[in-house]
Amino acid sequence: MRILNEKASKAKEKKASLGPDINLEEYSSEHTPHGIVDKLEMLSDADKERMILAGIDANEEGRSGTYVQKDTTAIFSQSKQEGLEVIPIKEALKKFDWVQDYYWKLVSVDTDKYTARAQLDLHDGYVIRALPGSTVIYPVQACLYLEKEGLSQNVHNIIIADEGSELHIITGCATAAHLRSGLHVGISEFFVKKNAKLSFTMIHHWAEEMMVRPRSVGIVEEGGLFLNNYICMRPVKSLQMYPTTYLAGKGAVARFYSLLVGSPNSEIDVGGRMYLQEEDTRAEIVSRAITNGGNIIARGDLIGEVPGIRGHLECRGLILNGGTIHAIPELQGKIDGVELSHEAAVGKIAQDEILYLMSRGLTEDEATSTIVRGFLSVDIPGLPPVLKAEIDRAVDLSQHDVM
Amino acid sequence: MLIIEDLKVRLGDKEILRHIDLEIKQGETHILFGPNGSGKTSLLMTIMGYPQYKVTAGKIYFKGQDITHMSINERAKLGIGMSYQRPPSIHGLKTRQMIEICSNNGADVNELAEQVNFLEFLDRDINVGFSGGEIKRSELLQLIAQDPDLLLFDEPESGVDLENIALIGNAINHLLERDIHSTTNKSKKQLLRERAKMGLIITHTGFILDYVSADRGQVLYDGVLACRRYPVEIFKQIKDVGYEECVRCAS
Ligand SMILES: Nc1ncnc2c1ncn2[C@@H]1O[C@H](COP(=O)(O)OP(=O)(O)O)[C@@H](O)[C@H]1O
Ligand SMILES: [Mg+2]
């Protein structure tokens, strides 16, 4: 811990390599005590409503575990299934030695001032773990909720799918209806062990003046599968993240899907980077970006380090009503025998598609929204239907604003 | 009834159709022949109402209404439907959803798809990666679901494999209510009288003539309609002496 603190201290002022710099002093990190609840139902209706927008169900129906953090405090944490652990990270760090084997093992604490802050001023976060061989039938839900104006919420999450296990997580970040500005710093480390399967679906539902700096890295071992879905379709002031995944075992597979909507004044810079380090590994990065006046940078980077790997990057952008989309797909083949490809397209809605649908009886507006809806619906093989439904719901909710 | 009167159409800065007169009576199906680039697709797109095809003179009437300046979707609502030669693909829109749109959510999609051997494509994005023949079957399926009164077919058989050509030919014939012998409870005469569907079919290969009994054929040559006769006759002429000779004989 001491070494981590020292490293973090040195990085306190270190600017991130991407994204507008944030003056951390403008945001308070002060702890905001909230009462712990025994039952999620005890949350206020207003809070519940906001959480539902980010895919979090207070009735816990069809969920096998839940973690809820309000501002700086973990207010609810529970596993309803054997073989599944859901623990606030501060508690886990105190109680279990094994957490040290994962804490800051993938993300470097001195990456930038945001990682440093998450070490020096950690609020909480979750550890979600599926024990070896266990199949967590229903998704686990986790919510990081912001209520206090001007707060910097610093969290650290660790997600472990042990050997042969299957784990699905839906995590929502949401803000209270009245909240305008704040900062969210979120460290996430993903461990997908041998032959394990992990799906992680993150729905962000921020406020107009929010600054967001997630920092996440994952590792997938032999035969493992990691599905990472990211949906951010609501206004946000500045969001920058570039999650990295290491495919470190034979036959490991990772897919990263992102759906982004850039509202006026939003600055979004989201990418995915994957290192294909072992034979037969497969990587896929798919992003769909729509802007309505915001600025979006959609990055992707596939790095093939051994022969017999395959990766594909797909990046599509739609400029609906002003704004910019900058697609930056990168491929790095470092040896003979890698197969990497990408397709990128940025444009407006094709007029011939609108006319085609109009000739089938739709009005121009109906045709346009049908095309936008289609644009945002990507097939994600291996994702449980209930999570697919949550993504569809998030898209439907925002469709109105997009149009 | 569709009536086109002395129509002139411009695409970009090019006049692509001139002095087009055409009348398709209730229950009639016409075949449109013509060499590549003669304006066949343009004529169908103009009838459907594509705005890039600018009508600079003349009128189009359908069901007694002047539709010359009507929008595409109003024409669709009025009962005009088209099977395209090269429709666009739409990512993320499943063929199933497209069929639902066509039928205004009123059809059993699986049942319709079965008719044109298209079940396995329903959960694919519309036209994305479809082969030429698959596109034709998808277009036909959309028209079956839409069930318009005037059906415009742009080369519905080109690219279709032998296995499916009869299927498509017969389905078109059925859609145009021309397979009257297959029904038994009404007299042939009565069925003919009741026949409401109108068709305008562009064909290049002429294969479709083996399946669809059409009333009239026309040749579009260099933006002008010529030679109004029985389709099979025209097709034979074209095969024997070519378009140029065929049109000369008519004028
Ligand atoms: N988008 C376009 N811009 C300019 N000219 C076009 C365009 N599409 C078609 N044309 C021209 O219009 C003429 C008629 O084309 P078309 O109606 O497609 O003929 P057909 O279907 O008989 O082959 C041709 O000379 C063709 O090259
Ligand atoms: Mg044509």
Maximum C-alpha span of chain B: 54
Structural domain spans, chain B: 2-91+149-250
pLDDT tier for residue A154 given thresholds of 50, 70 and 90: very high
Q: Given an 8 Å threshold on Cβ–Cβ distance, is A362 in contact with B101?
A: yes
pLDDT tier for residue A171 given thresholds of 50, 70 and 90: very high
Helix and strand numbers, DSSP H then E, in chain B: 8, 10
Rounded percentage of chain A residues whose pLDDT exceeds 70: 99
The pLDDT of A19-32, averaged and rounded, is 94
pLDDT for A58 equals 83
- Which residues does ligand 1 sit against, CB inside 6 Å? B 11-12, 14, 16, 34, 36-42
Q: Is the pLDDT of residue B182 over 60?
A: no
pLDDT for A13 equals 95
The pLDDT of B149-158, averaged and rounded, is 95
pLDDT in tens, A278-337: 999 999 999 999 999 999 999 999 999 999 999 999 999 999 989 999 999 999 999 999
| Burial class, B3, CB count within 10 angstroms (exposed 0-12 / middle 13-18 / buried 19+) | middle
Distance from CA of B75 to the nearest CA of A (A): 8
User: Is B2-91+149-250 CATH 3.40.50.1860?
Assistant: no
A391 touches chain B (CB under 8 A): no
pTM recorded for the entire structure: 0.87
pLDDT in tens, A219-260: 999 999 999 999 998 899 999 999 999 999 999 999 999 999
Chain B neighbors of A316, CB-CB under 8 A: 91
Cα–Cα dist B61/B58, whole Å? 10
A94 touches chain B (CB under 8 A): no
Distance, CA of B133 to chain centre: 16
Per the CB < 8 A criterion, the answer to whether A372 and A396 are in contact is: no
**The one-letter amino acid at A309:** I
Cα–Cα dist A234/A297, whole Å? 16
B129 touches chain A (CB under 8 A): no
How much is the ipTM here? 0.95
B82 touches chain A (CB under 8 A): yes
The pLDDT of A148-165, averaged and rounded, is 97
Per the CB < 8 A criterion, the answer to whether A159 and A202 are in contact is: no
The pLDDT of A121-143, averaged and rounded, is 96
Q: Is the pLDDT of residue A351 over 90?
A: yes
Which residue among B84, B88, B101 places its CB closest to the CB of A353? B88
Which residue among A357, A359, A375 places its CB closest to the CB of B48? A359
- The atom number, within ligand 1, closest to the CA of B38 reads 22
